[in-house]
C-alpha cells in the first residue's frame, strides 16, 4: 500500500518535512557601479557623484539586516560568503573587513569556507586586491568579459584589454583561487574572436572560468536598442570552440557556464545549483531559507535609499528590510530544484531530491519519463543526468517540470546565480 501511494502527488495542503537542513550560504549585495552596462539587468545603480555611495551607512545597514534575520538561521554555520553586485570592489578593504568581522561573530563560518568578492579589472579596484586578501577574502571573481578592447567598448565596459590582463596579474600575486567571467556572442564578435578570448583566459591558468552567452534581458539598454549579434549558428560554433579549448587545457566542465580545475568548483554556486539555502542581505537581495516543514523565499527592498531607511528600523522591527516573502508550494519545490540541478553536467543523485525538497522522487515520475523519452535526460535508480541535447535545449527540458501556475522566465532568472 505504501508503495502505491508514494507514486501519487502530495497535495500542496500537506507540507512535507525535511529530515536535515541543507548547507547555508550568505550573499551580500553591493548595488553601485561606476557605470551601468547596457546588457546588465542586475540591481545596480550608476554613480553620479561621490555622495551616491553611502559606504559607511550601507555597511551599518547590512549588519543590522543580518542581525534582524538571525532568528531564522540560528545555530547554523556558513559554508560560503559571496560579495556580489554591482561592483563590490568599489568598497574599501576596511569596509569588507568590518563586514566579515561582524559576519563571523553572528554566523560562524565552516572551516575552509569560500569567501568570494566580485571585482572589476579597473586600476582603481585592482590596487585594492592585496588589502581584500588581508581582510579575509580568499577567492576573487573578476569581470573580464573579453580581452578584445573593441568588444569591451561595445559592451559599455570601462576597462580595456590591457587593464584586464594587468588586473589578473595583480590578483595572482595575492590569491590562489581566482575566477574569470567571460561572455561570448557579443556585438560584432566572430568565432575566432571568441576562440582568442578563451585562449587568453586559459593562458593565465586560473582556477575557475565562467563563460556566459550574452542575452538581451528586459529592462536593459540592449533590449530597447538591440545591437547586431551573431546568429544561432555562429553562437553554437563559439560555444563549441570555447568548450573544446577549455577541455584541452584540462578544465572540468561541471555546470553549463562553469569550468574549473579539479577541486576548485565554486562552493557558493554549487550550493545554489543543489538547492541549498542562502541568506541574501543588501538592496534587492534574495534569500531561500529552509525549515522543518516550510521553505521560504524573501526579497529585500531594491532601491538603495529605501533599503537604508528600512535597515534603520531593523532593531525595532524584525526583518524590516524584507519587501516580499512567500512559502514554496510542493510544485514550487520540485520545479526550483530541477531548474537548478539540471544545470549540472553530472546531474544529481536521486536521494538528494527528497533530502532538499522533502518530496519523493516519484512526484515527478511522469515528467522524468517524458524527459527521458525525448532524449533530454538519462537516469537509473541512483542518478539523473541531463544529456547533451538536454543541456543544449535546457528551457525545453525545464518546461516539462514547469507547474502551470509558474512564470518560467521570472522564476528561472530569479534563481540564476552570478
Largest CA distance in the chain: 69
Q: Are the beta carbons of 164 and 119 closer than 8 angstroms?
A: no
Write down the H helix ranges in 107-160: 123-126, 129-135, 149-154
Q: Same structural domain for residues 373 and 228? A: no
Q: Same structural domain for residues 52 and 177? A: yes
**For 39-77, what is each residue's pLDDT tens digit?**
998 999 888 776 667 899 999 999 999 999 999 999 999
CATH code of 379's domain? 1.10.10.10
Element (H, E) at 286: strand 286-290
Q: Is residue 206 part of a domain?
A: yes
Statement: the pTM of the whole predicted model exceeds 0.75: yes
CATH code of 127's domain? 3.20.20.70
139-145/178-184 β-pairing? parallel
Domain boundary among 233, 249, 272: 272
* pLDDT computed for residue 5 by the predictor: 30
Q: Are the beta carbons of 408 and 402 closer than 8 angstroms?
A: yes
Q: Is residue 123 part of a domain?
A: yes
**For 94-126, what is each residue's pLDDT tens digit?**
999 999 999 999 999 999 999 999 999 986 778
The stretch 214-226 carries a mean pLDDT of 93
Q: Same structural domain for residues 83 and 201? A: yes
Domain boundary among 250, 272, 294: 272
Element (H, E) at 217: none
Q: Same structural domain for residues 336 and 258? A: no
The Cα–Cα gap between 256 and 195 comes to 18
The stretch 273-278 carries a mean pLDDT of 98
Q: Which residues pair with 295 in a beta bridge?
A: 290
Q: Cell numbers for 381, please give them.
A: 535508480
- Any idea what the Cα angle at residue 418 is, between residues 321 and 152, rounded to 5°? 120
pLDDT bin (cut points 50, 70, 90) of residue 212 is: very high
* pLDDT computed for residue 63 by the predictor: 95
**Residue 84 belongs to what domain range?**
24-272
The Cα–Cα gap between 366 and 349 comes to 18
Tell me the average pLDDT of the chain: 91
Amino acid at each position: 500500500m505504501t508503495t502505491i501511494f508514494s507514486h501519487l502527488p502530495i497535495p500542496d495542503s500537506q507540507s512535507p518535512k525535511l529530515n536535515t537542513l541543507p548547507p547555508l550560504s550568505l550573499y551580500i549585495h553591493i548595488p553601485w557601479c561606476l557605470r551601468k552596462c547596457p546588457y546588465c539587468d542586475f540591481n545596480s545603480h550608476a554613480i553620479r557623484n561621490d555622495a551616491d555611495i553611502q559606504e559607511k551607512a550601507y555597511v551599518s545597514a547590512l549588519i543590522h539586516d543580518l542581525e534582524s534575520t538571525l532568528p531564522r538561521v540560528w545555530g547554523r554555520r556558513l559554508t560560503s560568503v559571496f560579495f556580489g553586485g554591482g561592483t563590490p570592489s568599489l568598497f574599501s578593504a576596511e569596509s569588507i573587513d568590518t563586514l566579515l568581522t561582524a559576519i563571523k561573530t553572528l554566523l560562524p563560518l565552516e572551516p575552509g569556507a569560500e569567501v568570494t568578492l566580485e571585482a572589476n579589472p579597473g586600476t582603481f579596484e585592482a590596487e585594492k586586491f592585496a588589502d581584500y586578501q588581508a581582510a579575509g577574502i580568499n577567492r576573487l571573481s573578476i569581470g573580464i568579459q573579453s580581452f578584445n578592447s573593441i568588444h569591451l567598448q561595445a559592451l559599455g565596459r570601462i576597462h580595456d584589454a590591457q587593464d584586464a590582463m594587468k588586473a589578473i596579474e595583480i590578483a595572482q600575486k595575492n590569491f590562489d583561487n581566482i575566477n574569470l567571467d567571460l561572455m561570448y556572442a557579443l556585438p560584432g564578435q566572430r568565432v575566432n574572436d571568441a576562440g582568442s578570448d578563451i585562449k587568453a583566459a586559459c593562458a593565465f591558468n586560473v582556477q575557475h572560468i565562467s563563460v556566459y552567452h550574452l542575452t538581451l534581458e528586459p529592462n536593459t539598454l540592449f533590449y530597447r536598442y538591440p545591437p547586431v549579434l551573431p546568429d544561432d549558428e555562429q553562437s553554437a560554433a563559439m560555444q563549441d570552440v570555447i568548450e573544446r579549448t577549455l577541455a584541452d587545457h584540462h578544465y572540468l566542465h561541471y555546470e553549463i557556464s562553469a569550468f574549473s580545475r579539479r577541486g576548485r568548483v565554486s562552493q557558493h554556486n554549487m550550493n545554489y545549483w543543489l538547492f541549498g539555502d542562502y541568506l541574501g542581505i543588501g538592496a534587492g537581495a534574495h534569500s531561500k531559507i529552509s525549515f522543518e516543514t516550510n521553505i521560504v523565499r524573501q526579497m529585500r527592498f531594491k532601491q538603495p535609499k529605501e533599503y537604508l531607511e528600512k535597515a534603520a528600523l531593523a532593531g525595532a522591527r524584525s526583518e524590516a528590510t524584507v519587501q516580499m516573502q512567500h512559502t514554496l508550494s510542493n510544485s514550487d519545490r520540485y520545479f526550483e530544484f530541477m531548474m537548478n540541478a539540471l544545470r549540472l553536467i553530472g546531474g544529481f543523485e536521486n536521494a538528494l531530491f527528497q533530502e532538499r525538497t522533502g518530496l519523493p522522487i516519484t512526484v515527478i515520475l511522469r515528467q522524468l519519463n517524458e524527459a527521458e523519452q525525448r532524449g533530454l535526460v538519462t537516469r537509473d535508480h541512483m542518478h539523473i543526468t541531463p544529456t547533451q541535447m538536454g543541456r543544449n535545449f535546457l528551457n525545453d527540458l525545464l518546461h516539462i517540470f514547469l507547474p502551470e501556475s509558474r512564470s518560467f522566465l521570472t522564476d528561472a532568472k530569479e534563481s540564476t546565480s552570478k
